[in-house]
Amino acid sequence: MTRRALIAGNWKMNMLRAGGEALAAALTSGIKPGASADLLVCPPATLLAPVSAVLADSSVALGAQDCHMNEAGAHTGDISAAMIKDLGAAYVIVGHSERRADHAESDVIVRAKAAAVLAAGLTPIICVGETEAERDAGEAETIVGKQIRGSVPEAAAEDTIVIAYEPVWAIGTGRTPTVDDIAAMHAHMRQVAGNVLGGADKLRLLYGGSVKPGNAVEILALEDVDGALVGGASLKAEDFLAIAAAAP
């Protein structure tokens, strides 16, 4: 089955308003008509409104990097999926390894956040991935399978969520798994997700972890890789557009 590629840019805690608006404008003017991939940018929460304005009437989608599991309430400093939707976003990243590590987010928390995103009518990008120690111990597939089973909410369907594989040891390090490792993990993910969801032919699986123009072609050509979750390279319009252009 043909699944349309999704190239998502996670800007993380980078950019002020002028830089974010300029980057968004460069993407909207640089994307080619008839592109083979969907483009998505996930700026910091402070930039959701101004970037949304720049992206209006373009084919580039907007997403957020996180949300709270509740729709409203006494949660100082947090934002809800409904608030994110109100700003024009269509996606929310949940369970990124940096959230799991820095904020002690468990599969239970990630699952609740993903459920909140779905309830708001948005698409969650659920992140999974093993540490270097877990891979060295031969536990990579076990860990990732456990995260998928624990993080995908009951309300999910294969065409309402995205799952992104980011080996923790490859994020921002310039290191990537071998193409064979990526292919094997994504095949395993589709099998596990298919068991959870009752099918995964329509499910988009993204690879993330030091994706750049130089390795995008071979990674995106893999059968079970349906796009990329891009970090540092998404902060440069030329690099991000080159990765998008590499999608088959």
At 200, phi and psi to the nearest 5?
-145, 20
Q: How far is CA 216 from CA 68, 76, 97, 211, in A?
A: 32, 39, 21, 6
Q: CA 58, CA 153: separation in Å to the nearest integer?
A: 31
Of the candidates 117, 102, 119, 104, the residue with the CA atom closest to the CA atom of residue 68: 117
Element (H, E) at 186: helix 179-197
Q: Which residues are catalytic?
A: 96, 166
Q: By C-alpha distance, which of 190, 199, 109 is closest to 150? A: 109
Do residues 153 and 118 lie in contact, with contact meaning Cβ atoms separated by under 8 Å? yes
Contact by Cβ (8 Å): 89, 45: no
